[in-house]
Amino acid sequence: MKIKTILFLFLSLVTAASFAQIPALERVEPAFWWVGMKNPELQLIVHGQDIASRQVSLNYPGVKLAAVHKVENPNYLFLDLQIAPDAAPGTFPIQFTRKGEKTQTFRYALKSRDTSSSRIQGVTNKDLVYLIMPDRFANGDKKNDVVKGMNETTLNRDSMYYRHGGDIQGIINHLDYLKDLGVTALWLNPVLENDQPKTSYHGYANTENYKIDRRFGTNELYKKLVDECHSRGMKMIKDFIHNHFGSMHWTIRDMPSKDWVHQWPAYTRTSYRDQVLFDPYASASEKKLMTDGWFDIHMPDMNQENPYVKKYITQSTIWWVEYAGLDGFRLDTYAYNDAAFMAEWAKAVKLEFPRLTIFAETWVHGIANQVFFTQGNTVNRGFDTELPGVTDFQCLWGINEALTGKFGWDSGVTKLYTTLASDFVYQDPTRNVVFLDNHDLSRFYSVVGEDMDKYKSAIAWLLTTRGIPQLYYGDEIIMTGLSNPDGLVREDFKGGWDTDKVNKFISEGRTPKENDAFNFIRTLANYRKNNEVLQTGKLMQYVPENGVYVYFRYNADKTVMVIMNTSEKQETLPTERFAERMNGFSGAVNVVTGQQLRDIRSLSVAPKTTLVLELKK
């Protein structure tokens, strides 16, 4: 969509004549809700041709129509309902009447909440998260590959930009594979409908808020996926974008009001400069550009000061948690949102679901930059964001430098040590998600030059450090790719399509090197899953020397020693320096190989190698 087209679309919202021709009652969202919610208020967005000219009525015990709001566009009404604590589940008609015309009726449903103990457990440092781009993981239903009537109907696995056909059923089909690997939680890139004309596969420009993309499946199938995860002791994280919608979102194509999105005289892109948000010397104009500029031309920036926008976004997220039983949210492009709204949103979600986990993408450089967005007002922001955790990019930069940089006073693995030494600035750093790569970043095996020893070192660190570890699909089979462009790190998982010549989901389809990586990750991941010491155990680290970084995870029952040798030569490590943690232990077991070490007074560590040792008395 060209810039001038977008501007015309937005700025033509002046007279009723300019509004789209739609059915008399096109939709009501959310289409149903639940009794017994902590917040008794519910706002319905109603869309229909000249719906604002109709009178609204309803009659149901325990439900009150508190207010009817008209906005600039006569095709919208916003209805405020009050739902009493004793309201019973059931359905009732909401009627929209106009003299001399047929009454329009929507039968609204109030449902009972599902209080099953397996639902909405939250994701913690006891979990291992596995990130999946659904379009590129596995195709379990060919019938939904192309959906007639949608804006993008090209299916081409040879192109990084077109859809490939992966879907929710494909993920369901491989849940046992993931459980065997040691995964305990899934994070899917967005699966809401993205009816954009181009590059819709990634999902980050949704055009619906209450509907799964038909090329992935249905709402019911998504709920089944969550239920299937829970039945295996696994959890589900939903990726959600507050900052922007897709330009083909139904509320963008026919906007309730001009201030539904941030308007500019001409297309204006965000600066992507997070520094201006905390810079005490920043100008107001640069702050506005950062938060109100559009992330991309097809991603209108939502005006989160508009009370109807706030309600629409907030209720849709609460709806998905209650409907599907989600365990957590990953929040995209967090720094670009209105901070006050995001805190308000977090409070509303926590009120309904105290166990739900929330973490956000904070793609920034600098520990203070990252902590600025976390809850607790720990860096004198003067404002509590209510955000429990973040995707820990600072640890990513640290492990990158540890394995690709030259060791020095503040370089190489010292940077990783220093990053973790700065954890005091967080309210709780164990709520951060640590990772090596994702859908926007170069795959880590490529980052370290396809050096298997360095890669294993990174995986060993990921699965033994503090926080919530996250793998990206294909990490276990050393998938490669550099993120220029992004599509190169979003290739298909071979074996996910029945036409694939090889199947990487089974050992027979993997190369010896791929099986080596798979078995290494599987062994460590399952050890972590079965040993609380690597989940919730305390962390003690030592200043790196000669490129060797040593740290311990320990609790009352076990002590695990991790030795990361980042140098290019074998190192002999006398261990008396670590007596504070090693006193009382005389031996160890290599967690990965099972090798028993009967004398640990001095340890030999191969170059570019990380040892994970469970200490023994």
- Alpha-carbon span 63 to 83, nearest angstrom: 5
Q: Give backbone dihedrals phi and psi of 156, rounded to 5 degrees, phi first.
A: -155, 100
3-class DSSP state of 17: helix
Residue 538, both tokens:
């305390």
Decide: 63 and 82 in contact? Cβ < 8 Å. yes
- In angstroms, what CA-CA distances link 67 with 42, 79, 256? 11, 6, 17
Is 72 among the catalytic positions?
Answer: no
CA–CA separation, 382 vs 239, rounded Å?
A: 28
User: In terms of DSSP bridges, do strands 571-574 and 602-605 run parallel, antiparallel, or are they unpaired?
Assistant: antiparallel
Q: Residue 334 in contact with residue 361, Cβ under 8 Å?
A: yes
Reading the block at residue 43, the tokens are: 């706002």
What is the CA 404 to chain-centroid distance, rounded? 27
Nearest to 539 by CA among 434, 447, 389: 434
CB 554 within 8 A of CB 527: no
Catalytic member of 167, 274, 322, 361: 361
Contact 134, 213 (CB under 8 A): no
Supply 20's token pair: 């789209």
Q: Where are the alpha helices (DSSP H) in 200-280?
A: 219-231, 250-253, 275-278
Count of CB atoms within 10 A of residue 93's CB?
Answer: 14
Q: How far apart are the first and last CA of the chain?
A: 68
Catalytic site residue from 239, 322, 332, 392? 332
CA dist 529 and 184 (Å) reads 8
| Whole-angstrom distance, CA of residue 535 vs CA of residue 152 | 43
Residue 50 to residue 42: CA distance in whole angstroms: 23
């009447």: which residue's tokens?
A: 97
Reply yes or no on whether 332 is catalytic. yes
Residue 481's CB: how many other CB atoms inside 10 A?
Answer: 19
CA distance 330 to 320: 13
Active site residues: 332, 361
